[in-house]
Structure 1
Amino acid sequence: MRTDCNLTRLDRVFARLDREPERPVHIDVPKMSRHRVVLLSATLAFYLAVVWAVVITSWLVRLDWQVMFFRPYQQWSEIHWFVDYYVVLGQRGPTAVMIAAWLGWRSWRQHTLRPLLALATSLLLLNITVGAAKLGMGRLGPHYATTIGSNEMGLGGDIFPSGHTANAVVTWGILAYLASTPRARRWLSAVSAVTSLGVGMATVYLGTHWLSDVILGWVAGLLILLALPWFEPLITRAEIGIFDLRDRWRARRGSKAPAPAFPVDAPVLVTPLASPQDDSAAPEPVAMARSSRAPVYLAPGPHTARSERTPVTPAGSRRPPHPERVTRGAARPLTGG
């Protein structure tokens, strides 16, 4: 009799993730080194410098207006269709789905949840920091500008810094951050840099962002990637917590009470009396025990030939007896005049 339990899809996924080793030994988790801290500080200083240059309406704002009046989408209208498609590489929804699919496959192959958790952490930081900056500075875009030469700050807009550019830097840069070898990290860094640069220039071409918006978007995305090693201990604890929750859920499923060995409504067999005259003997109900072996017609297993099966009914004719029936071959009585 088969005793294999049917595994759910979630059980099969966790069984795959439980294979050893859980994380390949040649993958190094980035740490917050002194060089990275210096680079992060310099990038943060450049971020504040760009914001200050826009707030005081410096030469950077004048450059924004010059690029806007140049109208690149009219100067090079033949590539408009290509830019419309290329700018999708900076939209949060499509890029998050594509990168999550790739990192999900890597999590499956490497038997760890770190790639997906790192992506989720970077996107969360992106939404918090860039979203807060957009709402706090409230800058209007080129299509909604009100005064020529002004910085358009504090007027209820939400384009400074560029979300498309920052999202392209983070979502494509996380591939380089999670690269397993230095060579792969260098190549993926170059690819992500070119992709995010193209997305930023595409928004300037379409006239949806100022040039300073794109510059600040690049810097904002780079800040998130540089600060991500600070969140590696949190990612590790989250991964351990998910597996602990999985183990408790499995233990709760395994602690359920087993089914009774005998059915509650089992038929009752009454034993006959010892003798008709003995009134002391009373019928004793005895529960009919289930046979240790299931009937042949219910037993699972490979198909057997008819000659190997145990007959369910006794051998012989299945036709009920009849008092007037004459067996075949016997002489019939002769009647008639």
Structure 2
Amino acid sequence: MRTDQILTRLERVFARLDREPERPAHLQTPQMSRHRVVLLGSTLAFYLAIVVAVLTTSWLVRLDWQIMFFRPYEQWPQVHAFLDYLVVLGQRGPTAVMVAAWLGWRCWRQHTLRPLITLGVALLLLNVTVGSVKLGLGRLGPHYATEIGSAELFAGGDIFPSGHTANAVVTWGILAYLASTVVTRRVLSVVSAVVSLSVGATTVYLGTHWVSDVLLGWSAGLLILLALPWFEPLIARTEAYVFDVRERLRRRAETGRMPAPVVSALTPLLSAGGKWQLRPAADAAPGAGASEGQVPQPVTATVAAAATPSGTTTVTVHSPTARPAVHPAGRPHVIRSERTPVTPAGSRRPAHTERAAARGAAARPVAGG
């Protein structure tokens, strides 16, 4: 009988991840270096400057209105159809699915969950930071502007900063952040920069965002990428926690499938009714636990096995109180081993005289002569 364990799809994935107990040595976790800290500080200062410029209705707001009146989608209508498809590279749903599929394959090859967890942390930071600023400032878009020259703030809108632009920076930039080699990181950095710049410029062309929205979206996405090394300990702890939960579930499943041990002093017999009957084993002391002249009788019992966290198994036998055997008067009890099995045709055991004659004949063979 085959006893091969049938693995589920999730168990096969984790079995693949377990081929190597440690992450490959060539994968380096990004650190918060001095160069990265300087870039983070500069980007944060640029971010705050854009917000202040919009709040004070400065020259940046006047530039927004000038480009809106220019209507780029009317100046170059021949590229409108192409840019309608290009802007999809900044939408959160399609881009998250595409990048998650690639990073899932990376997890499969590198035997680690870090790429997917890093993507999840980055998208969570993006939604929290960008979403809170959008709802807090409430700026209206160019198509819904009501007063020429105003910043259109605190009017119930949700376009400042540009979500398409920030999502393009984070989603495609995470590929460069998780690159395995220096050359790959540089190539992917250029590709992600081109994609994010193109998506931001496309939103301005289509008239869905102001220029200041796009500038703030670029800086918001870059801030998240630059701050990710601070979250690396959290990512490592999350990965360790996921593997620990998987191991506990696996151990629980394995112990739950273990057969119940058999009690050495009892011989289990399965009756026709499907219940277990326990009889004393052959090596048990005869008459133990019974009074003189009485022999323990079979009792119907229920055997329950329970696995403990330490890996041992506890067996509990539930049985009713054994009652002494009662025999009719004039018929003394005979031990099973002394009984003679009887069939309808008579006893299968020959008479004592026949057995003695057979033994004598075998001992004194008759020689011919």
TM normalised by structure 1 equals 0.78
State the AA in 2 paired with 1:153: L
Q: Measured at CA, do residues 119 and 257 of structure 1 come closer, stay the same or move farther in structure 2, by a change above 3 Å? A: closer
Q: How far did 1:15 drift?
A: 0.7
Q: Does 1:227 align with 2:227?
A: yes
**Is the 8 Å Cα contact of residues 139 and 156 (structure 1) preserved in structure 2?**
yes
Mapped partners of 1:128, 1:263: distance in 2: 65
Q: How far did 1:3 drift?
A: 1.6
Pairs aligned (count): 277
Mapped partners of 1:171, 1:156: distance in 2: 27
2:334 paired residue among 253, 277, 281: 281
Aligned to 1:317: none
**Is the 8 Å Cα contact of residues 139 and 157 (structure 1) preserved in structure 2?**
yes
State the AA in 1 paired with 2:241: G
State the AA in 2 paired with 1:188: L
> C-alpha offsets along residues 267-323 of structure 1, whole Å, 9 cap, x if unaligned?
89xxxxxxxx98633779xxxxxxxxxxxxxxxxxxxxxxxxxxxxxxxxxxxxxxx
Mapped partners of 2:336, 2:88: distance in 1: 85
Unpaired runs of at least 5, structure 2? 263-267, 275-329, 338-369
Aligned to 1:116: 116
Q: Answer 1 or 2: higher relative contact order, Cα 8 Å, separation at least 6.
A: 1
Q: Does 1:214 align with 2:214?
A: yes
Q: Measured at CA, do residues 2 and 209 of structure 1 come closer, stay the same or move farther in structure 2, by a change above 3 Å? A: same
Mapped partners of 2:187, 2:147: distance in 1: 44
Residue identity (%): 70
Aligned to 1:171: 171
Task: After TM superposition, list the pairs within 5 Å mapping 1:185-196 onto structure 2.
Answer: 185-196=185-196
Mapped partners of 2:55, 2:3: distance in 1: 72
Q: Does 1:76 align with 2:60?
A: no
Mapped partners of 2:257, 2:176: distance in 1: 50
CA RMSD of aligned residues (A): 2.0
Q: How far did 1:2 drift?
A: 1.5
Structure whose CA Rg is larger? 2
Q: Measured at CA, do residues 74 and 259 of structure 1 come closer, stay the same or move farther in structure 2, by a change above 3 Å? A: same
Q: How far did 1:256 drift?
A: 1.8
> C-alpha offsets along residues 60-97 of structure 1, whole Å, 9 cap, x if unaligned?
11110010001111111111111111100000000000
**Is the 8 Å Cα contact of residues 122 and 170 (structure 1) preserved in structure 2?**
yes
Mapped partners of 2:333, 2:166: distance in 1: 95
**Structure with the largest fraction of strand:** 2
Aligned to 2:129: 129
Q: How far did 1:24 drift?
A: 1.4
**Is the 8 Å Cα contact of residues 32 and 230 (structure 1) preserved in structure 2?**
yes
Q: Measured at CA, do residues 263 and 248 of structure 1 come closer, stay the same or move farther in structure 2, by a change above 3 Å? A: farther
State the AA in 2 paired with 1:281: V
The answer to which of 5-14 and 227-236 deviates more is 5-14
Q: How far did 1:127 drift?
A: 0.2
Aligned to 2:39: 39
State the AA in 2 paired with 1:138: G
Q: Measured at CA, do residues 77 and 267 of structure 1 come closer, stay the same or move farther in structure 2, by a change above 3 Å? A: same
Aligned to 1:300: none
Q: How far did 1:22 drift?
A: 3.1
**Is the 8 Å Cα contact of residues 107 and 115 (structure 1) preserved in structure 2?**
yes
Task: After TM superposition, list the pairs within 5 Å mapping 1:228-243 onto structure 2.
Answer: 228-243=228-243
Q: How far did 1:114 drift?
A: 0.3
Q: Measured at CA, do residues 167 and 263 of structure 1 come closer, stay the same or move farther in structure 2, by a change above 3 Å? A: farther
State the AA in 1 paired with 2:176: A
